[in-house]
Every structure is written in C-alpha cells, then in structure tokens.
Amino acid sequence: MFLQNINGHTASPEGHNPITLIGFKASATKMQTLPSPGESFTCSGPCYDRAKEAKEFEETKAGVKGLVDSGVAKVPRLFIHPPQNLRDLSSDTDGAATGLEVPVIDMMGCEDCRRKDVVNDLRRALETWGFFRIINHGIPVDAMERMLETVKQFHEQPEGVKREWYSRDDAKKFRYYSNGDLFWSKAATWKDTLFFDFPSGGLEPEAVPVLCREPVFEYEKHIEKLKRSLSELLSEALGLDSGYLGEIECMESKTMVGHYYPICPEPELTLGTINHSDAAFLTLLLQNHHGGLQFRHKDQWVDVSPVPGAILANIGDLMQLVSNDKFKSAEHRVLARQAGPRVSVACFLFPRGTRKSKPYGPIEELLDEDNPPLYRETSFPEYFGYYLSSGNGMNGEAVLPHFRVSEPK
Ligand code: OGA
Ligand code: NI
C-alpha cells in the first residue's frame, strides 16, 4: 500500500521520491521481452538493464495501457515476475468449488434492530478472514458505477491528454502514473493508477481533471458516511464503546486509487498487483465485472469475484496491530488476465498526518495477563516508512512481523 498510494501508490512519508530524478527517452515497444527458450532468465543473452528499461517505460508516460495499445504481443522483461511470485496463478480456487464463501455483512438495520447481529457477523469475518463483502451499505449503485466508469474513461483517453497528469510528485493531490514502485520493485505489475489524496482540509476540485471531478467527490461523500458507520461497528466488534476507534482518530485520512488493469498477452508471466497486505487501517474496494482479485485464506488463494453493488472491505496491518491480532490483515493480489480491462477503486483509511502522527499500539482495553501486547507502538508514518523503505510491502513479504515484541501464547 501507500508508496504511490497507501499501497504501492504515494511517495514516501519523508517525501523522498527517487522517481522524479529520472529522465530518459525511448519507445516502449523496443523493450526486451521474455528470453527465448534455453536463454537464462537471469542474464545470459543480451544483458538486461532493468533500470534503463524502467526509465524508458516511465518516459513514455503512457503506462501499461500504452504498451498494450502499441500492440505488444509479449510481456516486456521489466514486468516478468520471478517464479515465487507466480505460484498458484490459475484461478481454480473458485469459492463455490472449495466451499469457501467470502463473508457477507448486510448492513440493513445495523443502526437499530439488527445491530447485534451485524456486529457479531463482523467480528467473525475479521477474526477468520480479515475481509468481507458489504451489502446494503448505503452507497447508491449509480455513484459506484460512475466512479468506476470515470476511472476507465480517464485511462482510455488519448495519450496526449493523459500524459499531462503523469507524475510522481507527492505534493500533487491528483496524479496518474504506472507502478508507484517502478524504480525499486523487483518486477513491475500490469496496471496503471490514478491517485487522489484527500488531506484533512479536503481535496480542491481544481486539482482533479474535470472528467473525474463530479463522480469522485460524489463517491467520496458516500464513503465518508460509510466510514463513520464502520468505525462504530468495528469498535463494537472489538468489544469497545462504539466511539472508540473514532476517538483515537485512526481513520481520519484517506487516499483513493483508481487502478486500470489492461488485458495482458501473457498473464502467466506477470501480476496485476503483487501479493501484499494493506498498511493502513481499513480499505474499501470497488471493482468492475472483470475478476482477478484473490485473497489468501487458509493457505490458499480464493477468487473474490465481483458482486454488483457490493463493496469489499479489508483491514490493514495497523488494524491488526491495534487489535493485538484479534483481527487479521488479509493478504491479497490481483492476477493479470487476457480478459479486461479490470477497473478498481481502493479507498485507504489511515490516521491524519503522513509526516507526523501519534503512536498506535495494541489497545489497552484488549490486553490482560493472558493477552500481552504483541506489538510495539508505532506511528503510521513510521510503519509506512518501513513498509516502503524495506521494499517489503510490495515485494511479497509481510511487514507487520518486524513490529512484533512477543509471540501469542
Ligand atoms: C491495492 C489493491 C486491489 C484491486 O491497491 O492495495 O489491493 O483490486 N488493489 O485493485
Ligand atoms: Ni491492497
């Protein structure tokens, strides 16, 4: 999460942004592709200069969509993942086939008659899965569809229009880029991204392209309302007063990313999003009808197929930390596919202040002799800084264990 979003998507909290140091010119189609059979993956044959390829790709400012439009029939080397990232790629773990059903939280009546049931359902879902589908969440289907459509339209504009917005400058509250971690990841992923930062003062409409303005602000308004309800329900699911998570201000800030996953000629060689868990407290995700999203559950990848009108929610690492492992942050990834384009909108909720923020540790009310604190205190910028600096956050490794102080009894 966060580099260029709070998940592979904003510059680091320290404002360190190596990407702006780049400037190269070349055609994306000239990039090297998969070595031919017999040619070593590492580097026999013509030597592979990853940094150069990344710079060349960056300079096109046309993203992966640009590559696809230029007619690439093979996945360029830059995007080819090592075998350990590509394990169990086939989607034969269909929920119905394995009997695994993503928990559904029906928010209907959650303010009154069904509150207890909803809180219990939520607790069960977060203790076992770490994610859930929400229905009857109050966000009009129309607002969701328009949000997805505007992200699609942006990415499908002529390159000349889009490239004006291409940036990795974290001072910009709206930007478009491909692969937030392009210059330090081991392999790039098959997607482009729009990034919307909603600082505490709010995002100024002028910072956002006219095309996206209305749908984005409309959707954000609904998300804000849903966030407040979820904050209360999550507090109660932890056995705390409904205002608890609101009072500790753990979800005061939000960023939104609009991902566009173009069709991929060789989906078995790359990924749309590498396996990761989100760094923040809570993520709310919208996806169009092209699947590809998978969550890890009981040591297997489970397809999370799109359900029209539903919002997917997952908790992030910091929620696992403050809940002292009561709730689990769920690992997930997105497959590259021949069908598409997949469009998704992820909204990340985290504490105020990307440079300075108060420390968070396991919530005291959840601790006793049998439940000692499992993590040390950390602030979101510190946690996220580590998530980025180690490169681990988006390189397929878990970051949270680095903050552990003891093992569960
Ligand atoms: C993310 C993420 C999933 C998707 O941005 O952190 O996991 O469906 N996105 O795009
Ligand atoms: Ni994620």
pTM, two decimal places: 0.89
Q: Report how far residue 323's alpha carbon sits from residue 238's, in angstroms, rounded to the nearest whole number.
A: 7
Query: Counting ligands in written order, which one lies closest to the CA of residue 257?
Result: 1
> Which residue in 13, 6, 14, 12 sits closest to 282, CA to CA?
6
- Probe residue for ligand 1, chosen from 195, 256, 273 as the CB with the greatest number of ligand atoms within 8 Å: 273
pLDDT of res. 320: 98
Q: Report how far residue 152's alpha carbon sits from residue 260's, in angstroms, rounded to the nearest whole number.
A: 7
Q: What integer best gives the mean pLDDT of the chain?
A: 87
**Cis peptide upstream of residue 83 (ω within 30 degrees of 0):** no
What's the 274 CA to ligand 2 centre distance in angstroms?
Answer: 9
> Which residue in 238, 220, 242 sits closest to 229, CA to CA?
242
Q: Are 200 and 252 in contact (CB under 8 A)?
A: yes
Q: Are 311 and 134 in contact (CB under 8 A)?
A: yes
Q: Are 53 and 31 in contact (CB under 8 A)?
A: yes
Q: Report how far residue 116's alpha carbon sits from residue 122's, in angstroms, rounded to the nearest whole number.
A: 10
Residues in the chain: 409
What residues contact 207, with CB distance under 8 A and at least 6 apart?
Answer: 172, 173, 174
Which residue blocks in 238-276 are alpha helix, DSSP H? 244-247
pLDDT of res. 54: 97
Q: Are 364 and 375 in contact (CB under 8 A)?
A: no
pLDDT of res. 242: 97
pLDDT of res. 324: 97
Give the phi and the psi of residue 73 in degrees, each rounded to 5: -100, -10
For 288-308, letters b (16+ CB in 10 Å) and e give bebbbbbbbbeeebbbbbbee
Residues enclosing ligand 1, CB less than 6 A?
A: 1, 5, 7, 257, 259, 273, 278, 285, 287, 293, 332, 334, 344, 346
Structure tokens at 291: 């699947």
What residues contact 99, with CB distance under 8 A and at least 6 apart?
Answer: none
| Atom of ligand 1 minimally distant from the CA of 9 | 5
Structure tokens at 310: 């539903």
| Atom of ligand 1 minimally distant from the CA of 333 | 7
Per-10-residue mean pLDDT, the chain, length 409: 48 34 29 41 63 97 98 97 86 58 94 96 96 98 98 98 96 96 92 93 92 97 97 98 96 96 97 95 97 92 93 97 96 95 98 83 97 96 86 75 85
What's the 301 CA to ligand 2 centre distance in angstroms?
Answer: 14
pLDDT of res. 397: 81
pLDDT of res. 11: 41
- Kindly report, residue by residue over 357-400, the tens digit of the pLDDT: 899 999 999 999 999 999 999 999 999 988 887 665 667 788 99
| Atom of ligand 1 minimally distant from the CA of 191 | 10
What's the 174 CA to ligand 1 centre distance in angstroms?
Answer: 18
What's at 126, amino acid-wise?
A: L
